[in-house]
Amino acid sequence: MGYIAMILRKPPYGDINAAEAVRHALGAASGDWKVSLILVDGGVLLAKQGQDDTGTGFTNLESTLKDCIDMGVDVYADYLSLALQSVKEEELPDGVQVKNESDIASLLKEADQTMIF
């Protein structure tokens, strides 16, 4: 159906953006879109491991991100944002690829549609 790039700029849980990004990424992937989920700014915090949702009622977004990867969504994290948000590359789950700004610009240039969360 085409290629859609989704950019997540906000950290998980404080607002609905991260949950919406992964929800729409899963929906698009199941609808035969090629999907890239690009984590920038606070959005890279979605890829932190060890998120414990006990007692909060929240869907665990660490698990949902892994579901995205399993469903074939290409997940990218911005190199500079990782450094600024204190997320080490070795902390990232398998399947999350680290890219620099120009790589991300190329991904967006190729996309038929872009959504920003």
Partner 1 sequence: MLVIVRSAPDTVDGRRGIKMARDLAADVVLLQNGVYFLQQEHLEDLGFCRTAYVLSDDRKLRGLDPADADRRAKEITYDALVDLMSESNNVVGMF
Partner 2 sequence: MGKTMTLYLSTSPYSYENTLTTVRLADSALDKGHTVNVIASADGVYCFLKSQKAKGITNAEEEFSRLIQKGLKVFL
Residues 6+ apart with CB under 8 A from 114: 4, 5, 6, 7, 108
- Collapsing DSSP states into helix, strand and coil, what is residue 60? coil
Q: Which of residues 59-78 bind partner 1 (CB under 8 A)?
A: 62
Q: Which of 14, 27, 31, 72 binds partner 1 (CB under 8 A)?
A: 14
- Cα–Cα distance, 24 to 42 (Å, whole number): 19
Query: Which entry of partner 1, partner 2, none binds 50, CB below 5 to 8 A by partner kind?
Result: partner 1
- Whether 17 and 9 have beta carbons less than 8 Å apart is answered as yes
Q: Which of residues 30-89 bind partner 2 (CB under 8 A)?
A: 56-59
- Collapsing DSSP states into helix, strand and coil, what is residue 99? strand
- Give least dist CB 108 to partner 1, A: 22
Interface residues toward partner 2, by CB under 8 A = 13-16, 19, 56-59
Interface residues toward partner 1, by CB under 8 A = 11-14, 41-42, 45, 48-56, 58, 62, 84-86
